[in-house]
Each structure stands twice: as structure tokens, then as C-alpha cells.
Structure 1
Amino acid sequence: MEPQQKPETKVSSSYILWLGCLLQLHGLHRIYNGKIASGLLWLCTFGLFGVGQLMDLVLIPNMVDEYNTKIRAKLGMSDVGVPTQDPVIAASVFNPKTTRQQLIVKLLKAASNRGGKLSVTQAVMDTGASFAEVEATLREMLKSEYVAIENHPDSGVVIYHFVEL
């Protein structure tokens, strides 16, 4: 299977679009980097009367990095283009309607796949949820006595032991 191409913007392309100001097309570089509102503002105000257009000469590399990072995060990819999570999990992470109950089910499946024991880091990797969400959910399960807590004998890492698994 071929690796997916990353839809990224490039600094050189942004600078070429910045040159659109010579044709009175200010803000094209901003639109290219996902800053639609400010790009339209630049277009209507001649690049904020030239001042904003000149400032963007310095800001373009940061704009490109910010846009590329946002795109990679949406695609569930690292900075080098390696998938960081299962696409199904990635889709659920970006769905704000994921409930606590759904996270509990994901944690149970992850623990089942790991012999009934799970660290917070393993849970984050397996569910795609944030550290804070995973830790809060595991503590909630600990209070209900469905999960016991222990430390790994060698590393001292906190391990959640799912008693029924």
C-alpha cells in the first residue's frame, strides 16, 4: 500500500502568491494558508494599506507551519507524515460527541487486548483520547471498583488492572 500524500502548503508557493500584490491581488497567500477572512480583508484593503502585506513577508513561514500542523492533526499524522492513530479512532477523536460511555468501552477493549492491564499511555495510544480524558475516566472506573491500581515492578508506572478481564 502506498503512503498517503499530505496536502500541505509550501513556503515557496506562499511567497509566489504574496507577489500577487504586484497585480493588486493582496492576500492570496493568506487564503492559500487557510486564513480566508484575513485574506479577503487584505484583498479589499490593499494588504492593510501595504503594511500588513509587508509584515507578512516575515510571517509567511509561521503561517505555513501552522496550517500544515492543523492539516496533519486532522489527518491523524505526525510531523513526518506517519499515521499516529487508526483512521477509525482518528475520526472519533475529532467527533466532539464522543461520550464518556464510548471511551469506557474503548478502554475495556484496549485492556482486553493487553491482558487486562493498561497504563494511561497505552490507553491514550489505543483510544486516541487525550491524557486528561483517559486519566479521568480510569479514576472514575477505579472509584467504582471495576479497576484496581498497581505499579509495574520494574518501571514503577501506574497500571490499571481490569479485574474481570
Structure 2
Amino acid sequence: MKYSIPVAYALWAISGFGALGLHRFYLGKTGTGFLWLVSGGLAGAGGLYDLFTLPRQVQDANMRYDAQMMLAQGAASMQGNRYGSADGLSYRRADSPEKTILRVARKNAGQVTPGEVAIEGDLSVEDARKELDKLAKSGMAEVRVRQSGVIVYYFPEFADKHPSDFVDLG
């Protein structure tokens, strides 16, 4: 519901030139509406103030209304769509799988598993493994096996020091 200046002025006039504060209730200002109601529009001074500022108050109320509608539409269109909206505009660009992998590697001192990448990048584990294999083939990463048997992709440029918890396959 958009607010109207003529309606606001009509309510202002009907309520004793602002003394009852009906126009403030209409504009969503319930706190000052009650104040105007119990104080007679601050003994008429508030009603006089509203006479001159009512167009701006209506504009502010319409801006608040528009912001609430945009938030409601944005929340509805973002349901199930993390990076975009129903109208095709992107609010946040999804990172490439490679960038996600490198971010995880930096965070984990160079050690990355497909599961970690899948969680961080909204990828399947198989897609994460394929992307990690591509980086390993290009020489960016090494495939290593932890003593526990877990396959880890190791990025030396993000490592603090040479880890000793790997099994030597060579």
C-alpha cells in the first residue's frame, strides 16, 4: 500500500488539525501517533509542525514501504538460489571451482580434500575431485596420502612447512 499526501492531509484535518495524530498512525508512526493522541498533538505544536512536513513524512513512509517490499521480494527470489534472483540479476557472483580450491588450500595450510572443496564451493564431491585432479596435472598441486589413508591434494605454495604426516609413495 503506497501512502498518499491527500489522504494524510485529510486525516490530519479530520483529527483536529493533527491533534489526534490519525495521520501519524496512517504513516506507520505509531509511537508518535500515541504521543499526539494523548498530548493533543503536543498542544498543537506537533500538528502545526506536521502541516509543513507532511509531504516529506509521506515520502519517507513510501520509501520504508518500498524497502520492505524489495527485501520481501529479494528473500522470496533467493529461496533455493544462493547467488542469483528470479529476474536473472546476480547479487553475488559464484567463485570458480579453482578459486574455491585455492581459498581452501590457503585456509588449510596447503592441504585440501575433495570433501572440503565440495562443501565450500557448492560442488559435488566428484566435480571437486575432477577440479583437483586438473590442478594436480598442471603441477599446481601434488596428490598425497595421509597416514590415515585419506587422499589429500597438497599445494606447496600455501604450506607453512613440509608436512611429515604423509606416506612416502616414491
State the TM-score, normalizing by the size of structure 2: 0.47
State the TM-score, normalizing by the size of structure 1: 0.48
Q: Which has the larger radius of gyration?
A: 2
